[in-house]
A = this chain, B = another copy of it.
Amino acid sequence: MCRWLAYSGSPIALADLLYKPEHSLIDQSRHARLGVETTNGDGCGVGWYPDTSGGTGPGEVEPEPAIFHATGPAWSDRNLLELSRCVRSPLFLAHIRASTGTAVQQSNCHPFRYGQWLWMHNGAIHEFPALKRDLALAVDPLLYPFVEGSTDSELMFYVALSLGLQDDAPLAVERMIGLIEDVGERRGVPNPLQMTVAVSDGSRLWAFRYSSEHNSRSLFFSTDVRTLRALHPEIPVLHEVADGTRIVVSEPLGDLAGAWNQVPESSYGVVGNGHGALHALTPRKP
């Protein structure tokens, strides 16, 4: 199990959200409250899309999002702190990992990247070793060599890509869920899937909440920046961001109620271009 945060809105320094809130993601790495594990110390990562609001200047322009992956706990990672203070982005994903068994290594750190796409996951595929080969076979042979790590999370990403993520993200995730449910059924694994997932192509951000037993890990989104500002005085940057700014988190960044709305069971939200929406999520078996 893990914790994650996704941001979409006015470009801000990553540190404004990752370090400054009362119950920030970095704080959650040592003291998560809503997770299965209180400690998320098995690596961390951020992925961010470039801030092109100030022009680009000389030299190359990177179309791909950038990623940073580290194997140590987020709370003591000095490089993460440094880059979070100097990197400014309008859309970024951050993740702290609590391994459910697979190795602690950079290639198992979220977010995962393929071209323009970023993906991160909290949860697990139950009895993953028993289902892994079937899921690997569901990956498009052309995509197969890009699977670098050994996690269920990354394999879910490549299954979703193979099922059309780049064309219709919610549909592909519904198919991915359906496939995992189907494989679980065939292999005799009840309730195989537990997930909250964030995925982005750089312009939109989707956040999914689902579990086979309809008892999913927590997922919250911010609806109104004005409420966030009032509830989080320790995050001064909130006073400068545009009204359409949205934050999606595994668990709220502070104690006060009102700013954070729970994403309902079996549903997903989409954020981008200044507006957001919630939809039902329907598994689609193969």
Contacts and interface: CB of A to CB of B under 8 A. Distances in A.
Interface in A58-114: 58-60, 62, 66-73, 76, 78-79, 82-83, 85-88, 99, 102-107
A87 B149 CA distance: 26
Given A59-B240, A66-B85, A68-B82, A39 B39 contact: yes
A71 B77 CA distance: 11
A83 B83 CA distance: 8
A97 B24 CA distance: 23
Number of copies: 4
A70 B79 contact: yes
A133 interface: yes
Nearest to A65: B86
Contacts of A130: 145
Contacts of A39: 30, 38-39, 41
A85 B60 contact: yes
Contact of A82 (B54, B59, B66): B66
Identify which of A59, A145, A150 gathers the most chain B CB atoms within 10 Å of its CB: A59
B144 A107 contact: no
Interface string A157-195: 000000000000000000000000000000000000000
Contacts of A150: 107, 147-150
Given A103-B107, A132-B145, A53 B60 contact: no
Contact of A66 (B67, B83, B99): B83
Interface residues of A, number: 65
A72 B237 contact: no
B71 A72 contact: yes
Given A57-B53, A88-B57, A241-B58, A104 B72 contact: yes
Contacts of A37: 30
A55 interface: yes
Interface string A136-151: 1100010011011110
Contact of A51 (B30, B53, B57, B144): B57
Nearest to A70: B79
A265 interface: no
12 contacts: A38-B38, A41-B73, A42-B76, A58-B237, A73-B73, A76-B99, A78-B106, A87-B87, A103-B105, A105-B105, A133-B144, A133-B145
Interface of A: 10-13, 15-16, 30, 37-39, 41-42, 48, 50-51, 53-55, 57-60, 62, 66-73, 76, 78-79, 82-83, 85-88, 99, 102-107, 128-130, 132-133, 136-137, 141, 144-145, 147-150, 236-237, 240-241
